[in-house]
Amino acid sequence: MRLLSVRAVLLTVLTLLLTFGLAAFVVQYFDHAATWVEHPSNSHFYKEGKLHSLGTVYDRSGKILLSMEEGSIKYNEDAAVRTALMHITGDRDNNVETAVPIAFRSRLMGWNLLNGAYRFHSGRFNPGQELNLTLDADLCTTAYRELGGRKGAVGVYNYRTGEIICAATAPSFDPLAPPDFDRSPGQYEGVFLNRLFSAAYTPGSVFKLVTAAAALDHLPGAEDTLFNCSGKMQINNSEISCLAEHGEVTLKEALARSCNVAFAQVALELGAERLQEYAEKAGFNTALKVDGIYAVAGRINLAHAGKAELGWAGAGQFTTTANPLSLMAYVGAIGNRGLQVTPRTVADRNLLSRADLKAKKRVLSEDTAATLGQMMRNNTLAVYGEGNFQGLELCAKSGTAEVGQGEKPHAWFTGFLAREDLPLAFVVVIEGGGSGSESAAAVASKVLQAAANAAKVE
């Protein structure tokens, strides 16, 4: 009897140990499988520490952007496409953190938790090793060309579905022929940075879209109020100035003519807390997550802003910074009746979580979005010129962001098309580009016309 009970206890202990061991392994497996499989010592995927089998990445029309098999990397055959898409495909030394081969490594490697590192057979890729993007390679190439060697970013996305069709950022280079970066460090400053996702700039007047939304919601009679602009305004010992004397203006006219004095008055009436609240609703201080990649958050902090600083903040200056992608998502929400659909670059629906596919957020009330949209439409008709955007039903706002004495301001142009058949929102930012309504608007015009033409063909 005694022997039997000792054995029973021993068996129980062993069974328990086995169970705990298995449980621990399963937990570790689900937790760390990706790290184990993707470790450079795994010879299924790596040769001499470099990936030699990754699969194929396509654009929205089926153009090959990148394919990697048995040690050979193939990019698109057109150098202009390779350059314009380099921040998406990455370079050969994996310097671009936001690049798809890094963000979607497991998918491209073609392994999963159930089957492990299964491989393609009889010369054909396993379907697990394909990745289809929403990007239009031709449109990205047009956008990159229109930047004309200037640093900056161009983004275009469908504000109903979230599909990003254009994501171009400069400077860039042909990954098959990398230049000698050290020979012209100025030209290639931050070359591995995807400026659409990973940069943040002083917003200048595009921020007036945030101040205006708060005014529409919280200042009674905001649309009929007349603001008086004598070209400048004294707050304590600081002066807020405009480029011209705007006289008596409504909120709509103040937005079209980008009157700093009117928007400073609006900001003072709203107060710091309210303006901060609307900026955060618009996406400031939150990093936008696109297909698992975090964009950089734009920043605003009005907690300790004095009166003059609050005035400047309302007009888009002060210490506030804006991320181009996040700003594009905000203007997309204005176009989409106040609902923001999270932008994405991946077309394969099975790769996106249900949460990703339904990621919609109310940013503005339907009424506020509609009024703000009409004000942006008026900007085009009254200032930017309908002729430059023929047939696009363009609703937009420009920005010319001062960045310091003696430096040329950054040029912004952002907005959306009020077209049921072409629901696109966009952003253009050019570092040191000067006037937003001139340089950035000209790039937007070319890229949006190209997008409209491509949509006709589709």
Which residues form the interface with Zn ion (CB under 5 A)? 229, 242, 246, 259, 261
Closer residue to Zn ion (CB): 143 or 256: 256
**Structure tokens, 386:** 């309908």
Q: How far is the CB of 229 from Zn ion (least distance, A)?
A: 3
Q: How far is the CB of 226 from Zn ion (least distance, A)?
A: 13
Q: How far is the CB of 246 from Zn ion (least distance, A)?
A: 4
Classify 197 in phi/psi space as left (phi over 0), alpha (psi -120 to 50) or beta. Answer: alpha
- Other C-beta atoms closer than 10 Å to the C-beta of 343 total 30
Measuring CA to CA, which residue among 376, 436, 396 is closest to residue 201? 436
Q: How far is the CB of 275 from Zn ion (least distance, A)?
A: 19
Closer residue to Zn ion (CB): 223 or 273: 223
Q: For residue 214, give every residue at least 6 positions away whose Cβ sits within 8 Å of its Cβ, in sequence order, or none.
A: 266, 270, 274, 275, 277, 278
Q: How far is the CB of 409 from Zn ion (least distance, A)?
A: 17
Closer residue to Zn ion (CB): 254 or 346: 254
Closer residue to Zn ion (CB): 89 or 258: 258
Closer residue to Zn ion (CB): 234 or 353: 234
Q: How far is the CB of 320 from Zn ion (least distance, A)?
A: 20
Edge to edge, the sheet with strand 394-401 lists 164-170, 152-158, 424-430, 410-417, 394-401
CB 210 within 8 A of CB 279: yes
Rounded Cα distance, 398 and 42, in Å: 51
Dihedral in degrees, nearest 10, Cα atoms 13, 16, 22, 24: -100
Q: How far is the CB of 260 from Zn ion (least distance, A)?
A: 6
Closer residue to Zn ion (CB): 229 or 418: 229
Closer residue to Zn ion (CB): 100 or 242: 242
Closer residue to Zn ion (CB): 233 or 369: 233
In the 8-state DSSP scheme, what is residue 93?
T
Closer residue to Zn ion (CB): 101 or 311: 311
Rounded Cα distance, 370 and 381, in Å: 17
The continuous run of DSSP H or E covering 46 comes out as strand 46-47
Long-range pairs for 269-275: beta carbons < 8 A, 24 or more residues apart? 269/215, 269/219, 270/211, 270/214, 270/215, 270/218, 270/219, 270/314, 271/310, 272/302, 272/303, 272/305, 272/310, 273/302, 274/214, 274/218, 275/210, 275/211, 275/214, 275/302, 275/310, 275/313, 275/314
Q: How far is the CB of 395 from Zn ion (least distance, A)?
A: 22
Q: How far is the CB of 265 from Zn ion (least distance, A)?
A: 10
Rounded Cα distance, 29 and 16, in Å: 20
Closer residue to Zn ion (CB): 147 or 242: 242
Measuring CA to CA, which residue among 206, 256, 271, 247 is closest to residue 429? 206
Q: How far is the CB of 81 from Zn ion (least distance, A)?
A: 44
In the 8-state DSSP scheme, what is residue 129?
G
